[in-house]
């Protein structure tokens, strides 16, 4: 029996993993607490831990897990910016779910965009109050506008197709442009200057942290709509707020926020929010915040459970090779393992 400790477990995680008929060789220990240095000890006696985006998996936590006998860190998400993969090398194997439903995230970005530009969030509240006035709800057509996509991987490309469906012109920036993709790649600065809508779909790395900062906003069109369904720290939220106050940024739709770890995913209604910046952003009429829910579809949850279970199992079976291992051997984290066809260590 493979024992797996789940951290930061929510109802929907429990439901999707428990209902998975293929997990009969595993025992799940569902913990509501997040993984931190203080809670790592709870994994003692388990073979694997299963973690999510806001669990802390830094060097100290990895050392604790290692001393508790944990052999696998299984991320039930794609992004791994919260894991010190370099430190885990030689100690604990790290696996992730590279794609569970890129459609879920791209469609959520589209939902946010339409809600924002057609003021649906405002209309919904008005009609519930029998207020049928449409004053102040003027939107704009997406047709003919330019969408600038940062990151043309799985999610970015689906979002590009959606934008094209609306008759938008699409330009993109990617540090590794895809060849023969039919995508018009431009420099980051050109994207900032030409886009009516900017949507972020790249990972959070030291290079991309605060890529949307005061400098970048300065280069953008007046009235630009900024969408972030990727990772909060891609945007310097202080600079975004200033851009909104200066009427430079026309709207912002945020599914992620740099300081979300202690706020998102919990019911904090009835409490005073200690994050002034987030409170200010939410108070703006042209800002929509969702609580990191872009991934949350039935299809995605099912795929996450299926792939995570398969990832953990393959680490313990035969040669221990798992296609979704994040290998740090050469620093080329995602590609290295696939090219070498062997375990990271």
The residues of the shown chain that bind ligand NAI, judged by CB under 6 A, are 78-79, 99, 102, 105, 150-156, 173-176, 201-205, 207-208, 229-231, 255-256, 292, 294-295
- What residue is closest to ligand NAI based on CB? 153
Residue 277: closest CA among 236, 226, 249, 225: 236
In the set 87, 231, 258, 325, the catalytic residue is 231
Two tokens, residue 229: 């369904």
Tell the smallest beta-carbon distance from residue 186 to ligand NAI (Å): 12
Of 76, 93, 119, 260, the catalytic one is: 260
Residue placing its CB nearer to ligand NAI in the complex, 2 or 150: 150
Nearest-angstrom CA–CA distance, 315 and 324: 10
Q: Which two tokens stand for residue 250?
A: 């026309």
Instruction: Tell me whether residue 292 is one of the annotated catalytic residues.
Output: yes
* Residue 345 and residue 325 in contact, taking contact as beta carbons nearer than 8 Å: no
Indicate the residue among 26 and 155 with the shorter CB distance to ligand NAI: 155
Least separation, in Å, of the C-beta of 263 and ligand NAI? Answer: 15
Provide the minimum distance between the beta carbon of 160 and ligand NAI in the complex, in angstroms, as a whole number.
11
* Active site annotation includes 218: no
Closest CB to ligand NAI among residues 209, 329: 209
Q: Measured between alpha carbons, how far is 286 from 297 in angstroms, rounded to an integer?
A: 26
What is the smallest separation between the CB atom of 56 and ligand NAI, expressed in angstroms? Answer: 17
Cα dihedral 112, 118, 120, 123 in deg (nearest 10):
160
Indicate the residue among 153 and 320 with the shorter CB distance to ligand NAI. 153
C-alpha to C-alpha distance for 313 and 311, rounded to whole angstroms: 6
User: Nearer Cβ to ligand NAI, position 156 or 250?
Assistant: 156
Least distance to ligand NAI from the beta carbon of 116, Å?
A: 16
Core vs surface per residue 267-298: b (16+ CB within 10 A) or e: eeeeeeeebeebeebeebeebbbbbbebbbbe
Half-sphere exposure of 41 (CA within 13 A, CB side): 3
Active site residue 266: no
Q: Which residues are catalytic?
A: 231, 260, 292
């Amino acid at each position: 029996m493979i024992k797996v400790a789940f951290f930061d477990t929510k109802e929907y995680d429990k439901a999707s993993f428990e209902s998975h008929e293929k997990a009969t060789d595993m025992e799940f220990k569902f913990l509501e607490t997040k993984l931190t240095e203080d809670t790592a000890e709870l994994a003692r006696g388990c073979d694997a831990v299963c973690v999510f985006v806001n669990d802390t998996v830094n060097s100290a936590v990895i050392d604790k897990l290692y001393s508790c006998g944990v052999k696998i860190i299984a991320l039930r998400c794609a992004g791994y910016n919260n894991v010190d993969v370099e430190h885990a090398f030689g100690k604990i194997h790290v696996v992730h779910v590279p794609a569970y439903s890129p459609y879920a995230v791209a469609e959520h970005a589209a939902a946010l965009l339409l809600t924002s530009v057609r003021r649906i969030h405002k209309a919904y509240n008005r009609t519930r109050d029998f207020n049928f006035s449409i004053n102040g709800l003027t939107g704009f057509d997406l047709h003919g506008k330019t969408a600038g996509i940062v990151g043309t991987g799985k999610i970015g490309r689906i979002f590009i197709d959606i934008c094209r469906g609306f008759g938008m012109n699409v330009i993109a920036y990617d540090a590794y442009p895809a060849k023969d993709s039919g995508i018009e790649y431009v420099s980051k600065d050109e994207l900032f200057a030409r886009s009516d809508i900017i949507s972020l779909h790249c990972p959070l790395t030291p290079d991309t942290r605060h890529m949307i900062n005061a400098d970048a906003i300065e280069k953008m069109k007046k009235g630009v709509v900024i969408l972030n369904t990727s990772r909060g720290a891609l945007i310097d939220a202080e600079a975004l707020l200033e851009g909104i106050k200066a009427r430079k940024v026309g709207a912002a739709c945020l599914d992620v926020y740099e300081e979300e770890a202690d706020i998102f995913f919990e019911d904090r209604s009835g409490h005073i929010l200690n994050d002034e910046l987030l409170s200010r952003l939410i108070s703006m009429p042209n800002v929509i915040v969702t609580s990191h829910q872009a991934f949350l579809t039935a299809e995605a949850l099912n795929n996450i459970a299926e792939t995570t279970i398969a990832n953990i199992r393959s680490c313990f079976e035969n040669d221990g090779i798992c296609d979704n291992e994040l290998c740090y051997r050469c620093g080329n984290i995602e590609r290295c393992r696939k090219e070498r066809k062997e375990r990271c260590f």
